[in-house]
Structure 1
Amino acid sequence: MLIKIDNVTGHEVISFVNEHLHSMTLKSPPESIHALDAERLRGPEMTFWSAWEGNELAGCGALKELDSRHGEIKSMRTSASHLRKGVAKQILQHILEKARERGYERVSLETGSMASFKPARKLYENFGFQYCEPFADYVEDPNSVFMTKKL
């Protein structure tokens, strides 16, 4: 699998991000959706990676710099045709490696509290993420859980 920095301008990647946003509307109420659109994923504080198996987009993930010691994982998604093949694990390992290289002391994330997000929460738990209070601009929300990992 090739994981590469992506400028979020290619048609396939933009469609994938839009699909991610749409799937969030099916799982979460609007006020609890924190997924980012393609334009926001191109922000200066963001690094976005796409993962490819040959010519197929397998998944994506992003790292947002909150400050010089703290990053936030965003936009983790695996394509439906690549589920349960270790794509998310490889993307998460890559993001954590980059966070360490940047000198971050911790990485945090927000994900859904509903049953449909259980596989994501399990992945993060397996990587040593612990549940925590809301961070950055997040507030308590029954539809969200917050997790963090010290690096």
Structure 2
Amino acid sequence: MDIAIDNLESGDVIELLQEHMQDMLATSPPESVHALNVEALKNPEITFFSSREDNQLLGCVAIKELSANHAELKSMRTVSRSRNSGVGSKLLEHVLTVAKHRGYKKISLETGSMDFFRPARSLYKKFGFSYCKPFGDYEYDPNSKFMEINLS
């Protein structure tokens, strides 16, 4: 499995991100959906990674720099055929390694509070993330859970 910075131009990546957005909108009220569209993911403060094996897309993840010491995890998603196969763990491990190399002291994330998001929350907990208060521009929302990991 190869994980590399992606330019968000491939049809399969765009399709995966559209599927991600559709699931978010189907699961959460619109005002509680914080997923970014393709154009927003192209912002310079965001690094977007995709994972492939034999040229087949397996998943994606992004990291958004909030400050020199703090980043946010965004757009973590695996293709349906790759779920429960370790792809998510490898993507998360990769982005944590990148964050440490960049000198970030903390990574935060927002995810849903519904049962649909339970597998994601379990994965984050497995890697050492814990629940926290809203960060950045986020405000308390009963449909959201906020998590963070200290890297120092």
TM-score, normalization: structure 1? 0.99
Give the structure 2 partner of residue 25 of structure 1.
Answer: 25
Quote the offset at 1:54 in angstroms. 1.1
Question: What residue is the counterpart of 1:116 in the other structure?
Answer: 116
Distance between the aligned counterparts of 1:82 and 1:69, measured in 2? 32
SS in 2 for 1:90: helix
2:90 aligned partner: 90
AA aligned opposite 2:128: G
- Across the aligned residues of Structure 1 and Structure 2, the Cα RMSD in angstroms comes to 0.6
Aligned-pair CA distance for 1:10: 1.4
* Superposed displacement of residue 85, structure 1: 0.4
Cα deviation 1:34-67 (Å, max 9, x = unaligned): 0000001110100000001212110000000000
Residues 56-100 of structure 1 deviation map (CA, whole Å, 9 limit, x = unaligned): 110000000000000000000010011110000000000000000
**Percent same amino acid among aligned pairs?**
52
AA matched with 2:88: A
More off after superposition, 94-103 vs 52-61: 52-61
What does residue range 1-150 of structure 1 map to in structure 2 within 5 Å? 1-150=1-150
Equivalents in 2 of 1:19, 1:138: separation in Å? 24
Following TM superposition, the consecutive aligned residue runs of length 4 or more in structure 1 with deviations greater than 6 angstroms are none
Cα distance between partner residues in 1 of 2:27 and 2:51 = 24
CA distance in 2, matches of 1:11, 1:124: 28
User: What is the aligned length?
Assistant: 151
Normalising by the residue count of structure 2, what TM-score does the alignment of the two structures yield? Answer: 0.98
| Alignment gaps of 5+ in structure 2 | none
Amino acid of the structure 1 residue aligned with 2:86 = G
For structure 1, the residue ranges without an aligned partner over 5 or more in a row are none
